[in-house]
Structure 1
């Protein structure tokens, strides 16, 4: 997929921002960078990356096919980082509903650093 601006909202070109993480050229250096790259992976429907960046203890709850289905059936609009700390990222991900209304997924996500790589563990959703 040829994207000019990275879907994560960094203002940087996709090939200079999240794509190198997706291609395993480099690893996301922070929990926030991983969060942004996972959002971009949803936008470009990269289920392999989503699965591989989910902590191994949680993978049984997240199959590649489920990630792919979610990514392909959602029209993501933008990502907003509300708060970011060492291993916690609170974000709002805006998407278009089936009724063509803008909806918001608001989550506080937990990440874990293991063997020099960041992984998504789980999250708490807000109304």
Structure 2
């Protein structure tokens, strides 16, 4: 049996195979239909260290110049979507509140954020977020 060049299960937690889920967004062949789908695809991109996609999916007004995963030892272990507001297929703005869990050096940690998203030329983009306690 041959090995895949990518994970079997999508890291975003959808339960779908990666090739039928976030892979399509990561290749920039399809746009995420909702702000939540973009959030999930960005989480999967962090897991897989896909800096190009993270920059592509970032709003041009807030996007950093570069992203560097060199020396990054975080092992992402799960994403929970807490709430969404707007961000649907017919919306142009939305928010997604989430908790992303990871481990560094065996110690558990998390990022909790309420993220803002906007459509730019038909593509959902991450604008910014407020870190939660």
TM-score normalised per structure 1: 0.90
* Among 45, 52, 60, the residue aligned to 1:48: 52
RMSD, aligned α-carbons? 1.4
Q: How does 1:1-127 map to 2 (within 5 A)?
A: 1-59=5-63, 62-66=64-68, 68-69=69-70, 72-86=72-86, 87-98=94-105, 100-127=106-133
Deviations 1:88-121 (CA, angstroms, capped at 9, x unpaired): 00000000023x1211110000001121110000
Q: Is contact 1:6-1:13 (8 Å) kept? A: yes
Structure 1's consecutive aligned runs of 4 or more residues displaced over 4 angstroms after TM superposition are: none
- Secondary structure of 1:64 counterpart: coil
Taking the aligned partners of 2:73 and 2:61, their CA distance within structure 1 comes to 26
TM-score normalised per structure 2: 0.86
- Secondary structure of 1:39 counterpart: helix
Give unmatched runs, 5+ long, in structure 2. Answer: 87-93
Q: Whose radius of gyration is greater, 1 or 2?
A: 2
Q: Is contact 1:111-1:119 (8 Å) kept? A: yes
Q: Name the one with the larger helix percent.
A: 1
